Amino acid sequence: MQKSITYIALLIISCTVFSSCSLFSKRYEKVDKGEYKINAAGKKSFSLNNVNGKIKVVKGSDSTAIIVKYLKVIYAKKRDLDRTMESEISMTLDTIGTEVKIETEFDHTADQIHFGEYRENRVDYEIYVPENIELNIDNTNGTIDVQSITNNAKINTINGTIKVARLTGKLDLETSNGTIKGTLDSTKGLTASTENGDINFTFGPKLRGHVKADVVHGNIKTKNLNFSNLRDSRDKDEFEGYLGGDIEGTLGNNSDVKIKLETTNGTIKLTGSDSEKLEI
């Protein structure tokens, strides 16, 4: 351990003496933007795998196309500015068959510690999708924001917040370190899970479903919501009830709608709204 500390100290001293040391080299921002327009005919699903960056998904105005806009940002030393963006970040588009796939890969050999100004390379995406195409959005570091779609969607990030608004499809939302929040006035089913973070939802007056919430370290709060067959624990870490159902738990055509919420470290907060138009 002592040898490691000595080595790091010598490295810092050396870098201070020699201004050309890569730890202190100035990084310049280099940007590239573009767009894919993909024929949606015969396509049943869309998958995106990203590493670093923000992702936004909205309903497209063109029912015949999937539109993907991207913004690549890299931080390079001056001597490397003439290198192609593809040498740092590569994007692969596959449209064969009924699924559209985009894979994003980063050159992690370029990742270094740069004292005072280190920023990671990233790709930000904006995706416009027509109805009836299933979504599978996967990110490692970054926020995912999904709005105004009827599509079924599976959304996953490791470090980042997931935000949803005005979605009516079946939703599977998962993050490891981050908050899940949103507004819903209708759904075919919702699963939301995080390990370290809160879950906050505002439900519209027409939403019906069987709600089950669990917290390991934290608590569950509800406000302005009408539940029947309500069951909750004394410690407020477990909750179950029928939202909008009668005393027998009958929900008519919505009896199969399941809303399942789980966090390990955090609070689950559910709030009812009288408004027909919900905003995050």
Could you report the per-residue pLDDT of 52-82, keeping only the tens digit for each?
999 999 999 999 999 999 999 988 777 766 7
Between residues 273 and 245, the one the model is more confident about: 273
What percent of the chain shows pLDDT beyond 90?
64
Please compute the mean of the pLDDT values over residues 133-145 and round it to a whole number.
97
Instruction: Give the pairing type, strands 45-49 and 189-196.
Output: unpaired
The reported pLDDT for the residue numbered 43 is 97
For the segment 104-125, the average pLDDT, to the nearest whole number, is: 69
pLDDT above 50: residue 9: no
Confirm if 56 and 125 have CB atoms less than 8 A apart.
yes
Checking phi first, is residue 3 left (phi over 0); if not, alpha (psi -120 to 50) or beta? alpha
Structure tokens at 280: 């995050």
Q: How far is CA 211 from the centre of its chain?
A: 22
